[in-house]
Every structure is written in C-alpha cells, then in structure tokens.
Amino acid sequence: MGEGMAVETRGVLWSVATAFAYSSSAIFGKDLLKVLGAPSLLFWRFSVAALVLWAIVGVWHRAGGPDPMDVPRAKALAVGAMYGYMVITGFYSLKHLDASVYIVLVYLYPVLVVVASSLIGHRVTRGMWVALAVVMAGVVLTVPELFGGVGSVSGLGVALAFLQAVLMAGFMIASSHLLPGLDGVVNASWTLLGATLAMIPLVAIGGLTAPHGGGRVVEVLLFALITGVISNICFFRAMRHIAPGVLAMIMTLEVALAILWSVLLLGETVSGVKALGAGVVISGVLIAQWVNLHEARARRAADDPFASAPTV
C-alpha cells in the first residue's frame, strides 16, 4: 500500500472511531442529563476532558512532542467555543422537538459541509453527491416515525436544530482551514478548553449542579473520557487525513451505531425500516469511501504518471 493510500486509510479509521465514540453519548449521557441538566453536564464533560487532554499534551511536550502553545490561540479558542455552543444548541432543540424530527434536521450538516466545501473551491464529484444522497436517505429511514406524522412541530425547535447543523458544518470547515496541520491531541486540547469557557456563562446564570455519589462521578468521568477526550482526538486526527465532507459522511455512522447500542445495551427493539435505514447509511458511507479512494488514486496518478504503472 502506497503512502497516499495509507493516509486515506488512517483517516477513515479515525473517522469510524469518532463515530463510535460519539454514538456512545446516548448511552452514557441519558441518565446524567436528567440529573445534572444540559449546561452542567456539558461543563463537566468539557472541563474534565480539557484537564485530561492538557495533562497529556504537557507530558508529551516534555518528552519531545509538539508545543501546545505554538498555535493561533485566539482562533483555537474561538473554534472550541463554536463547538461548545453547537452541542448545547442540540440539547435545547430536543426540548422542543421529537427526536425523529431532530435527527433528520441536525444530520443535514454533511450536506452543508459538502456544499460549503464546493463553494470555497473544493471540487465535489458526482460520485460524492451520490454517496451523500444515499447517506441522507438512510438517515431519514432510521426515523420511520416521520412517516406516521409527529404532530405539531415547534418552529423554535426546528430553528435550533438547523442552527446546530450550521454550527457543526462551520466547526468542521473552520477546524480544517483555520487550524491546519495541528496535531489531533493539541487541537482537541484547545477545542475542549474553548468549549469549557463557553459553558461558564451558562452555569453562572443557571447554577452548576455537581454529581453526587461515587457512581455518578464515575459516570461523569466515563462520559467525559469517551465523548470528550477520545472522540475529539479521533476527530482531529481524521481531519488531518481526509476532507471535511468525507469525514462528515462517515460520521453519520453514529446514527446506525446508536441504534445498535440501543438494542445491545438498552434492550430496545428496532423496526425493519429503521434497520434498513442503518444499512443504507452504511452503504452510503462505503460509497463515499470508495469515491474518496478513487479520487485520491487519480490525483496521485496525475501528479506522478509512473505511480500507477506496474513494477517491472
């Protein structure tokens, strides 16, 4: 496998790992949200993750790793704040919307990422548009409740869900263009610090609820480590190897994985339509990856005509 193919493969693996980590939030955060409330839960998630990440980069730097202070700090904190506000917007949206409507709206962000990428000069091929269409069709199928009607729909909830999709797309594009070349761990450290700072005004106004009891503390720590530390390291490592549009589509695996966890860990039942939707999402992701690898191979062949020639 050539170096270019290895880079693409690493990007895909980091992307899939990101989807795994994010999908677990529905399992680990379900009870915590009821007990702590959204602002306090996110403050603990972001602050604990930031402490862990800064400890890691501090030790790593002393051992010869990258300097975590050698970054555009204002931009890094601003991107982190965007991430924090993006997440909290989703929680507020769910207060006004059925989960089925919310999922379809918020998972518009891969479309927004691909469209924004094309507008700023990145060529999007027909195959990638096809993959995106398949992914979005799968997302819709994972919420069959839509086909039976969901009653009245809150305009505020719709606006917040769409705002979250816009913020997620903006976060991905900004991370790619404002903070290029940063190591994933360093990037995650600044992002979680910025997200923590963004939560401080919210908990200052509404009050900070602390977890009580050893069990709750362990839950908060697991939630922070998996959905804060691991997910963000994987996300930013993926961003170094593949385009934001491809990453966004691969991350829709989170929908299919959340369905899987609900069956395996929560004992929930899944309809045939929902299972079909999960399969369609996976198919769309595979198409996107095939297109991505094909395009990467074509680019290398154009740069080096002898790269694809057989070895004599």
CA distances from 132 to 80, 249, 302 (A): 27, 7, 26
Average pLDDT estimate for 166-187: 89
Quote the CA–CA distance of 242 and 11 in Å, as a whole number: 5
Quote the CA–CA distance of 219 and 221 in Å, as a whole number: 5
Structure confidence at residue 39 as a pLDDT band (50, 70, 90) = very high
CA dihedral 168, 174, 175, 177 (to 10 degrees): 150
CA distances from 281 to 89, 271, 290 (A): 25, 16, 14
Q: Does residue 105 surpass a pLDDT of 90?
A: no
> What pLDDT score does 2 carry?
52
Q: Does residue 233 surpass a pLDDT of 70?
A: yes
* Token output for 162: 């769409």
Q: Does residue 193 surpass a pLDDT of 90?
A: yes
Q: Does residue 311 surpass a pLDDT of 50?
A: no
Closest CA to 210 of 35, 87, 85: 35
Average pLDDT estimate for 18-26: 81
**Contact, 185 vs 56, CB < 8 A?**
yes
What is the CB neighbour count within 10 angstroms for residue 4? 16
Can you give the residue ranges of every domain in the chain? 3-303
Q: Which of 142-156, 182-196, 232-246, 283-297 has the lowest mean pLDDT?
A: 142-156
Average pLDDT estimate for 247-268: 77
User: What are residue 21's phi and psi, to 5 degrees?
Assistant: -65, -45
Average pLDDT estimate for 87-99: 84
**CA atoms in the 13 A half-sphere facing the CB of 95:** 10
More confident residue, 68 or 123: 68
Quote the CA–CA distance of 119 and 99 in Å, as a whole number: 31
Quote the CA–CA distance of 186 and 165 in Å, as a whole number: 25
Percent of the chain with pLDDT over 90: 33
Average pLDDT estimate for 253-277: 74
* Token output for 2: 């050539």
Sign of CA dihedral 198, 200, 206, 209: positive
pLDDT tens for each residue of 280-309: 888 888 887 777 777 666 655 555 544 444
Structure confidence at residue 186 as a pLDDT band (50, 70, 90) = very high
> What pLDDT score does 107 carry?
83
**pTM exceeds cut of 0.85:** no
DSSP 152: S
Provide the mean pLDDT of the chain.
82
Q: Does residue 4 surpass a pLDDT of 70?
A: no
Q: Does residue 28 surpass a pLDDT of 80?
A: no
Structure confidence at residue 115 as a pLDDT band (50, 70, 90) = confident
DSSP 310: P
> What pLDDT score does 140 carry?
80
pLDDT tens for each residue of 199-220: 999 999 999 999 888 888 998 9
Q: Which of 30-44, 118-132, 206-220, 259-273 has the lowest mean pLDDT?
A: 259-273
Q: Does residue 31 surpass a pLDDT of 90?
A: no
Percent of the chain with pLDDT over 70: 83
> What pLDDT score does 64 carry?
92
